[in-house]
Amino acid sequence: MKIIIVGLGQTGKLLAVVASKEHHEVVVVDNNKEVVEQMTEKYNVSGVVGSGGSRKILLQAGADSADLLVALTPFDELNILACATAKKLGTREATARIRCPEFDEDEAYIMEEYGIDRLLNPEKEVAKELFLHTELPGGLRTEAFFDRKLIIAELLVQEGWMIAGQKVAQVKEFFETEMLVVAITRKQDVIIPNGNTVLMPGDKIEIILPVKSVKHIIRKLHMSRKQVKHILLVGCDTTGYYLAKELSAAGSSFKILEKDQMRCIELSKLFPDSQVICGDAVDTKALKEEGIRKMDSCIAATGDDRTNLAVSLYAHAEGVPQVLTKINEMGYDVLLRKTDISMCVSPSSVIVETLLSYIRNLSSSDRSRIKKLYRIADDRAEAIAFEVTESCREIGVPFKEPGFRLKKGILVAAIIRGRDVIIPDGNSVMQAGDTVIIVTDAGNVLKEIDDIFAE
């Protein structure tokens, strides 16, 4: 496919790299000549220097024959203009990133009026991810959510744990609940395991389990089992606003700590049932005064990565069971992953994962194939939710049958069938209407459910 990416911020660069690695024809557009040249020299992409809202520039980029244009500049209005112009020039599909809550409320109108196929709001999507974590107890580090029924959690196998030295097939017996080890990071390698793979101390493992089984996992690991009832939301810009809306709608008890006085006045009107405190989160005195140690969850969602990093590390040191962090720069994400902090989420990663599933659906024979995609195991593996249709191969075939042969590095991790969640075994089958969770190493680019099968 031919993909035009307008705007080479962190998200645009990341998407260009990922799309080019999947052998798409990628053209990048940005006003910054130096950034465009760096991308074209380092990666297999073409570049055009200029404004993505210009008809002339978009024609140079090939918008008259492009399959997809994604507008990711810092300006919502420019992103909408770029998409509208590209569609009139002949681009098949156009997606614009927006952040402004007012534009988000007018989503249907904007899409219809300007012919845009999709609007993506990274701040809203990050808020949704953060909110889902507040529904879980304790400090279990989670990597992915599927339909609020399944999660993928990350554990570091410790010396002395009973599962150390055990085969993957025996781990379920230890935890006494439905779960499955779906990926293992061992030093520099990522392993998609089978039942005979042995776990070693120091392994970082990804496990998939129904949400209802979380309490069994944290009980076995002696983690906090306390439900999240008292939440401190630090920073309430766009992400914080969307998150506060989610928390308020759910009836959650939360405080907001915001340093901008005028913003505090506005937030007090928007969320009258919640306490809004004006203070600087970097000042640990303010955090102490607001009872950080009594909180079940601390969510660092300011617009500044350093502030979020400092707040998260302090909350973790003070023993807050659940610490959730919004991070923009990927380097900080790597740093936080070396701690026991429950979760860090990046707007760039969330949007790239969404766009990656969108791109694969556009280039597949059935565009309803991928429902959700997460990059896990430090982005070296993927967990993908596929919709199973009548036309899929091997429907009704038990997994233990010789004809049900998967490619190397692929695991059928779970099946969602109506209200039921199934951790599969040899007797399991896929049925039309199922949502099937596939875990694969990054070497397999899966576009359709049938791509999992060996020839």
- The CATH number of residue 396's host domain is 3.30.70.1450
What is the Cα–Cα distance from 139 to 136, expressed in whole angstroms? 9
Does some domain include residue 172? no
Give the chain's domain count.
3
Residue that terminates a domain, selected from 120, 146, 170? 120
List CB contacts of 380: < 8 A, sequence separation 6 or more: 185, 190, 441, 442
Look at 79-93, 310-324, 336-350 and tell me which has the smallest mean pLDDT: 336-350
For 110-124, what is the mean pLDDT?
96
What is the Cα–Cα distance from 298 to 184, expressed in whole angstroms? 29
Confidence tier at 342 by pLDDT (50, 70, 90): low
Does some domain include residue 27? yes
Domain that holds residue 58: 2-120
Question: Structure tokens of 343?
Answer: 């979760």
What is the Cα–Cα distance from 56 to 378, expressed in whole angstroms? 40
Residue labelled with tokens 């500049």: 73
Whether residues 129 and 64 fall in one domain: no
Whether residues 129 and 255 fall in one domain: yes
Does some domain include residue 218? no
Whether residues 249 and 129 fall in one domain: yes
Mean pLDDT for the chain? 91
Q: How high is the pLDDT of residue 224?
A: 61
Find the CATH number of the domain harbouring 291: 3.40.50.720
What is the Cα–Cα distance from 255 to 270, expressed in whole angstroms? 13
For 52-69, what is the mean pLDDT?
97
What is the Cα–Cα distance from 355 to 70, expressed in whole angstroms? 9
What is the Cα–Cα distance from 390 to 432, expressed in whole angstroms? 5
What is the Cα–Cα distance from 323 to 330, expressed in whole angstroms? 18
Does some domain include residue 352? no
pTM to 2 decimals? Answer: 0.89
pLDDT in tens, 188-235: 899 999 999 999 999 999 999 999 898 888 888 777 666 788 999 999
Whether residues 248 and 308 fall in one domain: yes
Whether residues 282 and 407 fall in one domain: no
SS3 content of the chain, % helix, strand, coil (to 5): 35, 25, 40
Does some domain include residue 198? no
User: Is the model's pLDDT at 169 over the cut of 70?
Assistant: yes
List CB contacts of 376: < 8 A, sequence separation 6 or more: 143, 144, 152, 154, 183, 206, 382, 383, 439
Q: How high is the pLDDT of residue 434?
A: 95
Does some domain include residue 254? yes
Does some domain include residue 143? no
Other C-beta atoms within 10 Å of 19: how many? Answer: 24
For 414-427, what is the mean pLDDT?
95
pLDDT in tens, 269-298: 999 999 999 998 888 888 888 889 999 999
For 157-172, what is the mean pLDDT?
90
Whether residues 57 and 113 fall in one domain: yes
Q: How high is the pLDDT of residue 382?
A: 96
What is the Cα–Cα distance from 133 to 253, expressed in whole angstroms? 15
Whether residues 129 and 245 fall in one domain: yes
Whether residues 22 and 104 fall in one domain: yes
CA 330 vs CA 35, 141, 145, 335: distances in Å:
18, 18, 21, 9
Whether residues 285 and 400 fall in one domain: no
For 235-264, what is the mean pLDDT?
94
Other C-beta atoms within 10 Å of 294: how many? Answer: 10
Whether residues 240 and 130 fall in one domain: yes
Residue labelled with tokens 């993505």: 52
Does some domain include residue 221? no
Residue that terminates a domain, selected from 345, 379, 404? 345
Whether residues 294 and 372 fall in one domain: no
DSSP β-bridge partners for residue 411: 439
Q: How high is the pLDDT of residue 290?
A: 84
One-character DSSP codes across 169-203: HHHHHHHTSS-EEEEEEETTEEE---TTPBP-TT-
Whether residues 374 and 298 fall in one domain: no
